[in-house]
């Protein structure tokens, strides 16, 4: 049966059940099948990286067997394929199954020159960079300058691939680690291992060059370089700066970001940045990200902003949420979704009314289009004194009329009656003054491990957290009924449970890792 005769909806459902191996076989059936399935086959490309500078990884990094080199060369030999790629994911792998691949012929230089010289060769600096790039495209066995470090063979071919995929919309890559805990003289610095890749990202800021002009979503994560020798598993903020200058970019997701010194020219506003980013999602910051407020200053059009802190309490200091309020006001009219909370290991720490220290985020009523708020109890409200027990201002006065969904996380049983008072205040505000007319869902969740004595942490994590008494449960049921009658769903989430709360985590990339032919969403060597 000709697929063209089937309704488009049915064809799309059939294609969704096919894996790359199935599609690779279907394109060989006939010319019609080739024309139909080849765009589907190349729409999403997943490639392994082998240039992670550890003897356990570099099996095919500097040879013709390297997957990035082979795929890039296929695009050069068949230029009709590269424009079909909309999504590209690059992940670290041993690439053992690639070691048996047959050698590839050399690529004629005339096919490379136009791709590698978008500015032409009139200037000496462009010719010099071209020669360095051309040198790095040679396999290790063909190079005469093995003393030259770093050897960035895979990076050179990856950059050449990026220049070709002009219709790319989504890019996900695990960047080589570049920040070290220790100063090893015998370990080369890794900052130059993405020289050519970074140059192509730099070119993308000028649409007239025709490079990555449709790139709208970037996902970054740290790579496994030198993990056992003292590397910090994190992506410095400065690595994100080149992406802010790409006009088409709208979504930036970074897993394990960390602080880093920003260029002085940027901090002095000598090089102004006004990014087109609309969504930022930072998962598991490695430290307090003290430069994050400055980073947000350059993003005045945000529609959603998320920070999930999942490091254990003893690891390092948390992000100071109060410092994020002022720069986010630059996105006052556009911000619709706000999510600043703990996750993962961060939710396992023992909390009480004083620890972590209550820090008021800010008055949310100044954001006229804010739809969804997901904040911790001690960040949502200002409190008298140093304990998150007695709110200094009613919650109803801090929320915008546009609010549709509110998730209050890390509530405390020792402050449960204060929480009940705030919920009753919202009920009266909605009933008597028709306040918060758009509110539909109200979630509350108590901390997983709570200290038993006010101001004193629990002596052991094994001890059970205090449970609500019967009076509190009765009050809660009454609030649920009264709010439900007004069209608001009030739900208390079980301790430690995770429930869907759109758009939380909606933009995050599932990182694959190939081991024995299988894919895993998350795995660390």
Helix (H) or strand (E) holding 410: strand 405-411
What pLDDT does residue 228 have?
Answer: 53
Q: Which residues of the chain have pLDDT under 50?
A: 1, 55, 186-188, 227, 270, 314-315, 453, 455-462, 515-525
From CA 311, how far away is CA 288, in angstroms rounded?
11
CA-nearest of 174, 103, 168, 84 to 141 is 103
127 three-class SS = helix
Question: Dihedral sign, CA of 91, 92, 97, 101?
Answer: positive
Q: Give the start-to-end residue ranges of the domains of the chain.
A: 1-37, 42-219, 234-348, 365-493
> Within a 13 Å sphere around the CA of 460, how many CA atoms are in the beta-carbon half?
3
Q: 396 with 435: CB under 8 angstroms?
A: yes
Note the pLDDT of residue 498.
Answer: 81
According to the model, what pLDDT value does residue 8 have? 56
Closest by CA to 479, choosing from 446, 442, 445, is 442
Q: Render pLDDT for 119-168 as a digit per residue (tens, 0 to 9).
A: 888 788 889 999 989 988 988 666 666 555 567 888 999 999 999 999 99
Distance, CA of 351 to CA of 104 (rounded, Å):
59
Report helix angle 153-164 to 195-203, nearest 10. 20
What is the rounded distance in angstroms from the CA atom of residue 129 to the CA atom of residue 117? 9
**Distance in angstroms between the alpha carbons of the first and the last residue of the chain:** 47
8-27 as b/e: b if 16+ CB within 10 A: eeeeeeebeeeeeeebeebb
The length of the chain in residues reads 525
Number of Cβ within a 10 Å radius of residue 87: 17
The pLDDT of residue 187 is: 47
CA neighbor of 342 nearest in space, from 453, 452, 449 = 449
pLDDT at site 525: 33
How much is the pLDDT for 274? 82
- For the segment 239-268, what is each residue's pLDDT rounded down to a tens digit? 899 999 999 999 999 998 988 777 776 666
Contact between residue 442 and residue 483 where contact means Cβ atoms under 8 Å apart: yes
pLDDT at 89: 95
Number of neighbouring beta carbons within 10 Å of residue 198: 17
């Amino acid at each position: 049966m000709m697929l063209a005769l089937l309704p488009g909806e049915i064809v799309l459902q059939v294609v969704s059940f096919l894996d790359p191996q199935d599609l690779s076989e279907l394109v060989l059936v006939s010319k019609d099948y080739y024309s139909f399935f080849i765009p589907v086959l190349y729409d999403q490309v997943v490639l392994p990286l082998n240039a992670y500078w550890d003897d356990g990884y570099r099996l095919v990094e500097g040879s013709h067997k390297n997957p990035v080199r082979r795929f890039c060369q296929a695009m050069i030999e068949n230029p009709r394929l590269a424009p079909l790629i909309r999504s590209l994911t690059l992940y670290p792998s041993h690439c053992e199954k690639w070691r048996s691949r047959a050698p590839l012929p050399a690529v004629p230089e005339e096919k490379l020159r136009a791709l590698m010289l978008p500015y032409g060769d009139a200037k000496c600096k462009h010719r010099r960079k071209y020669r360095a790039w051309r040198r790095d495209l040679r396999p290790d066995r063909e190079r005469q300058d093995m003393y030259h470090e770093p050897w960035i063979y895979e990076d050179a071919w990856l950059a050449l691939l990026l220049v070709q995929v002009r219709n790319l919309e989504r890019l996900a890559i695990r960047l080589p680690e570049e920040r070290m805990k220790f100063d090893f003289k015998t370990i080369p610095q890794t900052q130059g291992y993405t020289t050519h890749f970074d140059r192509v990202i730099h070119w993308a800021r000028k649409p007239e060059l025709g490079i990555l002009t449709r790139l709208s979503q970037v996902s970054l994560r740290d790579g496994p370089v030198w993990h056992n020798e003292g590397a910090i598993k994190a992506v410095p903020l400065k690595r994100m700066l080149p992406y802010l200058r790409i006009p088409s970019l709208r979504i930036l997701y970074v897993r394990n970001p960390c602080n880093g010194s920003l260029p002085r020219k940027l901090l002095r506003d000598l090089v102004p940045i006004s990014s087109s980013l609309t969504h930022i999602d930072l998962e598991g910051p490695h430290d307090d990200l003290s430069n994050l407020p400055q980073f947000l200053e350059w993003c005045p059009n945000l529609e959603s902003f998320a920070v999930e802190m999942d490091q254990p309490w003893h690891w390092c200091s948390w992000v100071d949420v109060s410092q994020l309020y002022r720069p986010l006001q630059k996105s006052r009219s556009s911000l619709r979704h706000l999510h600043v909370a703990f996750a993962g290991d961060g939710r396992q720490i023992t909390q009480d009314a004083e620890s972590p220290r209550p820090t008021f985020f800010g008055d949310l009523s100044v954001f006229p289009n804010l739809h969804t708020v997901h904040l911790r109890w001690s960040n949502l409200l200002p409190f008298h004194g140093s304990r998150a027990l007695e709110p200094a201002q009613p919650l109803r006065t801090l929320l915008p009329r546009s609010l549709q969904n509110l998730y209050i996380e890390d509530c405390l049983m020792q402050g449960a009656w204060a929480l009940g008072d705030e919920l009753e205040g919202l009920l009266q505000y909605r009933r008597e003054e028709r306040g918060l007319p758009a509110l539909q869902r109200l979630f509350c969740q108590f901390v997983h491990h709570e200290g038993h004595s006010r101001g004193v942490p629990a002596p052991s994590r094994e001890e059970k957290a205090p449970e609500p008494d019967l009076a509190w449960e009765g009050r809660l049921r009454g609030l649920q009924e009264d709010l439900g009658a007004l069209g608001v769903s009030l739900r208390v989430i079980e301790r430690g449970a995770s429930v869907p709360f759109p758009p939380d985590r909606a933009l995050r990339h599932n990182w694959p890792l190939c081991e024995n032919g299988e894919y895993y969403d998350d795995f660390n060597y």
